[in-house]
Chains A and B, each alone.
Chain A
Amino acid sequence: AQSVTQPDIHITVSEGASLELRCNYSYGATPYLFWYVQSPGQGLQLLLKYFSGDTLVQGIKGFEAEFKRSQSSFNLRKPSVHWSDAAEYFCAVGALSNYQLIWGAGTKLIIKP
């Protein structure tokens, strides 16, 4: 079955510390992978996407993610978080032919001052 697992429901990080959010997927075809962020009162915003090529992908707001096929993972990282990064982060997988994305349950990022 196709699925996306985000093992951490909440993560608390001190401002200025590094961040890694985990994402594992199960998908029959070649996966196309996405990270979105959802802030209160705002729509989901694309942080980055992986379709092919270099497995280390750079996104907006200083985020990056690495696709590891052997581990079926697409973890999101940021070297130094800011208080404005507090939000919910969603990993999603889909096919190139459509946007019927399958989403993880999300990880809520809490920033400690």
Chain B
Amino acid sequence: ETGVTQSPTHLIKTRGQQVTLRCSSQSGHNTVSWYQQALGQGPQFIFQYYREEENGRGNFPPRFSGLQFPNYSSELNVNALELDDSALYLCASSQGGPPNTGELFFGEGSRLTVL
């Protein structure tokens, strides 16, 4: 069973640039959630995708957008990068969609640094 994989693991961008982060969900999982974890803080929910549709969004501006593909992998796109976007971006997959009683499985994250 393959776990959740994320790429790239580390990247550096400059202000104003755009970034795409990728996530392959665990085999059999159809729900993907994205979280932002700033240094020294807990994760913050960005959005969730279930069967290729956005199924909930946290308090993040529209320049944070996402996609889920038919194989349930997902992308997180961030436009017009700001310094405060520097963080660890976590992808988590789960099975079954709402109501969720299962477990979230997390990848190791993509560490984004914005200069």
Contact = CB atoms under 8 A, between A and B. Distances in A.
Interface in B30-56: 31, 33, 35, 40-45, 48, 55-56
A46 interface: yes
A98 B4 CA distance: 19
Nearest to A92: B42
Interface residues of A, number: 23
A100 B45 contact: yes
Which secondary structure characterizes the binding site on chain A?
Answer: loop
Of residues A36, A98, A106, which shows the largest number of chain B Cβ atoms within 10 Å of its Cβ?
A98
B29 to A, nearest CB: 12
A101 B31 CA distance: 14
Chain B interface size band reads: 20 to 34
Interface string A76-113: 00000000000000101000111111111110000000
A99 B3 CA distance: 18
Closest CB pairs A-B (n = 8) = A103-B42, A43-B106, A44-B106, A96-B99, A100-B45, A43-B108, A97-B98, A99-B100
Interface of B: 3-4, 31, 33, 35, 40-45, 48, 55-56, 58, 90, 92, 94, 98-101, 103-109
